[in-house]
Amino acid sequence: MKAGAEFDDFLNRIGRQRRYSKYTLRNYSKSVLEWYDWLGSNEMFSGDIFSVPRIFAKNYIAYLSQKVSRTTLHNKISALRTFHRFLREAKGAKENPFASLPLPKMRKDLPVFLNPIQVSKLLSAPWEYFKEGKIKHFEAVRDALCLEFLYGAGLRISELCSLKFSDIDFSRATARVLGKGQKIRLCPFGKNALELLKIWKEEYCAGRAQGDFILFCESGMQIYPRLIQRNLKNYLVEAGLPANITPHKLRHSFATHLVDEGVDLRSLQEMLGHSSLSTTQIYTHLSTAHLKREHGKLF
């Protein structure tokens, strides 16, 4: 079953009016198109996307439950709820078949993070690569700056890629970040990041305007998440650290270390850009788990 004009209208709505990120748009688009395909393969479906029976939505959830993780399932159904809510509000659909349907409970695993010694090794890895002649000075400065912002300021990878010179206050060492839901927050960053940023700007950013992206490839193109992820893997190997560490786990490391140092949750919530304090509270559980492990070494 092919998507019609209503699908394009939906993407236009969430892209322009709600200003969802490119990443979210891509995932929502994929989820909705998969839903269309599944409906099209069902001989009992009438073909009317505006009046999908609730039982079809229940069956689809059961189908996805056997194929994807619970996190992915929740994300896909969230997209479909949003899509059918749009059809009801803007296109006159009778109901949202996914409204209020129960989903399997999410597992609340504690985030994976690096300890301070491991972080120190990782932050020095680009310079080790440079000394060994594996990368140029341009890459060493840029990648070291990426790591400093991901860990030292707790930025999401999409936020890092979108940083512009106009977002930086050099005198206060803060970055103005546009986060999820188009929410703006101020993120302090450390002395190392500030010094690297000054070197980067002086040596490699001549002629770049205030509205230009800070981080870029040698071609001058804006840096992209996949490049950062790939380089991080290389540096983890260089530092002898777990290869499953991702940019987002550096953000977890940032948050965990702040909690360990006594930063209050409200301040941490602001720095991370969490809309709900309950999201931030997981780091108190993480800190407690760390204390128990340390206690267990002695008793």
Confidence class for position 4, pLDDT limits 50, 70, 90: confident
Q: Give the mean model confidence (pLDDT) for residues 245-259.
A: 88
The CATH classification number of 116-298 equals: 1.10.443.10
Q: Across the strands, what pairs with 178?
A: 184
Residue 257: the pLDDT is: 85
Q: Is the pLDDT of residue 130 over 90?
A: yes
Q: Is the pLDDT of residue 183 over 90?
A: no
Confidence class for position 228, pLDDT limits 50, 70, 90: very high
| 67-71, 112-116, 224-228: least confidently modelled range | 112-116
Confidence class for position 289, pLDDT limits 50, 70, 90: low
Catalytic residue at 257?
no
Catalytic residue at 180?
yes
Which residue is catalytic, options 76, 84, 142, 156?
A: 156
Can you tell me the distance from the alpha carbon of 260 to that of 286, in angstroms, rounded to the nearest whole number? 9
Q: Across the strands, what pairs with 168?
A: 175
Catalytic residue at 248?
yes
Catalytic residue at 283?
yes
Residue 281: the pLDDT is: 67
Q: Give the mean model confidence (pLDDT) for residues 14-27.
A: 77
Which residue is catalytic, options 60, 129, 235, 283?
A: 283
Provide the CA 16 distance to its chain's centre, in angstroms: 20
Q: Give the mean model confidence (pLDDT) for residues 87-112.
A: 82
Give DSSP secondary structure letters for 122-142.
HHHHHHHHHHTTSS-HHHHHH
pLDDT tens per residue across span 53-81 = 999 999 999 999 999 988 899 999 999 99
Higher pLDDT, residue 297 or 214: 214
Provide the CA 225 distance to its chain's centre, in angstroms: 10
Confidence class for position 287, pLDDT limits 50, 70, 90: low
Cα–Cα nearest to 271, from 131, 132, 134, 174: 174
Q: Give the mean model confidence (pLDDT) for residues 186-203.
A: 94
Residue 35: the pLDDT is: 95
Q: Show me where the domains of the chain are located.
A: 5-91, 116-298
Two tokens, residue 189: 């960053």
pLDDT tens per residue across span 154-176 = 999 999 999 999 999 999 999 99
Q: Is the pLDDT of residue 295 over 50?
A: no
Can you tell me the distance from the alpha carbon of 149 to that of 254, in angstroms, rounded to the nearest whole number? 10
Q: Is the pLDDT of residue 138 over 70?
A: yes
Contact 192, 151 (CB under 8 A): no
| 9-18, 69-78, 109-118, 244-253: least confidently modelled range | 109-118
Three-state DSSP at 4 gives coil
Residue with tokens 């209503």: 6
Which residue is catalytic, options 180, 185, 201, 290?
A: 180
Higher pLDDT, residue 26 or 108: 26
Which residue is catalytic, options 54, 91, 185, 248?
A: 248
Catalytic residue at 142?
no
Q: Give the mean model confidence (pLDDT) for residues 88-113.
A: 82
Residue 111: the pLDDT is: 61
Mean pLDDT of the chain: 87
Catalytic residue at 251?
yes
The CATH classification number of 5-91 equals: 1.10.150
